[in-house]
């Protein structure tokens, strides 16, 4: 019976055949231990000389790393295995022998591994990161579907910047200027006026050189928008969403988190509600901590975010940033128009901002004034202003960066490990 490593628990004490690759091996006298993988997981195959033909045993001892093969054997329980099972091999059939596989079990530098990303994905660590990434995506869709959101796809080629910045990859759409999307947010606002609660999930691009382990040129964003929702209500959705995702990973990725040696106690405490501090309070906190390189009106750098995060054991919201350092569409606080009804969610353990969100300007006159201030004009922005002209309502939204969230939950150091194939654009600015 053919099966997969991920399904061996359904076939205990049964003989099965699995298509696999040899990840590693060791042998000792009359027994060979094969570390096998098939994409769904890793399992040890035990080849005992007395249980197989002479030809099969010799074959097992001479298998090379990443050779593809079919293995047949009995699934048995093994408490020592992270999977809980092993395979007592009775037969092997080589599909293709791999020769001189470049990523050997010895240590390799990050740049070498990134140059061989197409192969590095096969390693236990990278496999675990991708499985956690997949679970974050799966639980994201599950959460928003349960909460009544509709998935909407935003275009990748756009006519303007969502943030009003110049950090865009420029191209031509026939004879018109076009840009790789920086955010799907503006389109989600239009969709929210039609469907109430919506979210997008897709790639976004920033044409700025990345010099830190936190930044990518290409990354994926989850961007919900919600009609008839104010800033505080949006914060509640954000903390419930992040809590849901973390708990889903804890529940469904135990083996992967073990492979990554993740400190689970750091994740088990991630449950709503999350602490909140205002931008003004954060500036004062930093000054009290001895930071003399930041004043009111400055944006936070990585050391500032890390210091704030270390004062809390959960993600922390920093709210009410100065209007002048935030995007043009963020609604000013009616009680203090110098600050916006917005928040950044800072992850623990030095992983920085994972969510940025705000209540959006819903007043036509105020948005028209912002257009003038930021010199936003032409058909690329006209439709967005019209959303405030025909039945405008209070509405809020946020964007979660998938890769930073994966890095935080997995506890890895290099954010480039969180995206399957980052080299096309991210290779430009490593």
pLDDT, tens digit, for every residue of 346-363? 999 999 999 999 999 999
Is it the case that residue 87 has pLDDT exceeding 60? yes
Tokens of 240: 């419930």
297 vs 129: CA distance, rounded Å: 37
What is the predicted pLDDT for the residue at 107?
87
Is it the case that residue 430 has pLDDT exceeding 50? no
193 vs 153: CA distance, rounded Å: 15
What is the predicted pLDDT for the residue at 427?
47
Tokens 């590095």, located at residue: 120
Domains present along the chain, CATH in parentheses: 2-96 (2.40.50.140), 117-418 (3.30.930.10)
What is the predicted pLDDT for the residue at 429?
38
Give the pLDDT mean for 102-110.
Answer: 89
Tokens 């054991």, located at residue: 313
424 pLDDT tier (thresholds 50, 70, 90): very low
What is the predicted pLDDT for the residue at 162?
60
CB of 358 closer than 8 Å to CB of 330: yes
**Total residue count of the chain as it appears in this document:** 430
What is the predicted pLDDT for the residue at 130?
97
What is the predicted pLDDT for the residue at 421?
80
The 10s digit of each residue's pLDDT in 258-299 is 999 999 999 999 999 999 999 999 999 999 999 999 999 999
Is it the case that residue 56 has pLDDT exceeding 80? yes
Q: Find all residues with CB under 8 Å of 206, minimum gap 6, and list them.
A: 167, 182, 215, 216, 217, 219
What is the predicted pLDDT for the residue at 210?
59
**The model's pTM:** 0.92
The 10s digit of each residue's pLDDT in 173-191 is 888 888 888 889 999 999 9
What is the predicted pLDDT for the residue at 428?
40
What is the predicted pLDDT for the residue at 213?
57
Helix (H) or strand (E) holding 363: none
Give the pLDDT mean for 31-59.
Answer: 96
What is the predicted pLDDT for the residue at 114?
86
341 pLDDT tier (thresholds 50, 70, 90): very high
Torsion angle (degrees, nearest 10) of CA 300, 304, 308, 309: 100
388 vs 363: CA distance, rounded Å: 6
Helix (H) or strand (E) holding 426: helix 423-426
265 vs 255: CA distance, rounded Å: 16
Give the pLDDT mean for 56-73.
Answer: 96
230 vs 195: CA distance, rounded Å: 17
What is the predicted pLDDT for the residue at 169?
85
164 pLDDT tier (thresholds 50, 70, 90): low
Residue 223's nearest CA partner among 45, 357, 373, 314 is: 357
Q: What is the CA radius of gyration of the chain?
A: 26
What is the predicted pLDDT for the residue at 383?
92
Per DSSP, the residues of 127-157 read: HHHHHHHHHHHHHHHHHHHHTT-EE-PPPSE
Instruction: Give the 3-state secondary structure of residue 241.
Output: helix
The 10s digit of each residue's pLDDT in 202-261 is 998 887 765 555 568 888 999 999 999 999 999 999 999 999 999 999 999 999 999 999
Separation of first and last alpha carbons in the chain = 46
**DSSP structure class, residue 336:** E
Mean of the per-residue pLDDT values of the chain? 92
What is the predicted pLDDT for the residue at 165?
57
The alpha-helical segments, DSSP class H, found in 289-326 are 302-310
408 vs 87: CA distance, rounded Å: 34
What is the predicted pLDDT for the residue at 425?
40
Give the pLDDT mean for 365-388.
Answer: 90
67 vs 45: CA distance, rounded Å: 14
Burial 59-81 (b: 16+ CB within 10 A, else e): bbeebebbbebebbbbbeebeee
Query: In this structure, what are the phi and psi dihedrals at residue 87, rounded to the nearest 5 degrees?
Result: -115, 120
What is the predicted pLDDT for the residue at 294?
95
Strand bridging mode 150-151 / 197-205 = parallel
């Amino acid at each position: 019976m053919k099966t997969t490593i991920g399904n061996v628990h359904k076939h205990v004490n049964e003989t099965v055949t699995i298509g696999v690759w040899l990840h590693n091996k060791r042998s000792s006298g009359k027994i060979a231990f094969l570390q096998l993988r098939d994409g769904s997981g890793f399992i040890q195959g035990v080849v005992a000389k007395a249980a197989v033909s002479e030809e099969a045993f010799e074959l097992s001892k001479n298998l090379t790393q990443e050779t593809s093969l079919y293995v047949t054997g009995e699934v048995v329980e093994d408490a020592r295995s992270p999977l809980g099972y092993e395979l007592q091999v009775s037969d092997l059939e080589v599909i293709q022998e791999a020769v001189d596989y470049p990523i050997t079990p010895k240590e390799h530098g990050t740049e070498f591994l990134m140059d061989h990303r197409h192969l590095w994905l096969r390693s236990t660590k990278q496999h675990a990161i991708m499985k956690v990434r997949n679970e974050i995506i799966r639980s994201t869709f599950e959460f928003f579907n349960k909460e009544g959101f509709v998935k909407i796809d935003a275009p990748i080629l756009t006519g303007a910047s969502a943030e009003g910045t110049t950090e865009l990859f420029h191209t031509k759409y026939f004879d018109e200027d076009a840009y790789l999307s920086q955010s799907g947010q503006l389109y989600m606002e239009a969709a929210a006026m039609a469907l109430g609660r919506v979210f997008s999930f897709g790639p976004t691009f920033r044409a700025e050189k990345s010099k830190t382990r936190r930044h990518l040129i290409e990354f994926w964003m989850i961007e919900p928008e919600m009609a008839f929702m104010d800033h505080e209500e949006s914060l509640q959705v954000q903390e419930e969403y992040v809590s849901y995702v973390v708990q889903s990973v804890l529940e469904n990725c135990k083996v992967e988190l073990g492979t990554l040696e993740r400190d689970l106690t750091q994740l088990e405490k991630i449950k709503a509600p999350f602490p909140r501090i205002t931008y003004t309070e954060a500036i004062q906190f930093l000054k009290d901590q001895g930071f003399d390189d930041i004043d009111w009106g400055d944006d936070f750098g990585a050391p500032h975010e890390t210091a704030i995060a270390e004062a809390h054991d959960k993600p922390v919201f920093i709210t009410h940033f100065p209007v002048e350092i935030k995007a043009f569409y963020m609604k000013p606080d009616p009680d203090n128009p110098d600050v916006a009804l917005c928040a950044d969610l800072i992850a623990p353990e030095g992983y920085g901002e994972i969510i940025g969100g705000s209540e959006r300007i819903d007043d036509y006159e105020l948005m028209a004034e912002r257009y003038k201030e930021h010199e936003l004009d032409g058909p690329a922005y006209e439709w967005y202003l019209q959303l405030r002209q025909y039945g405008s309502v209070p509405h809020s939204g946020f964007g979660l960066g998938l890769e930073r969230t994966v890095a935080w939950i997995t506890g890895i150091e290099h954010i480039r490990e969180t995206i399957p194939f980052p080299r096309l654009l991210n290779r430009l600015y490593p």
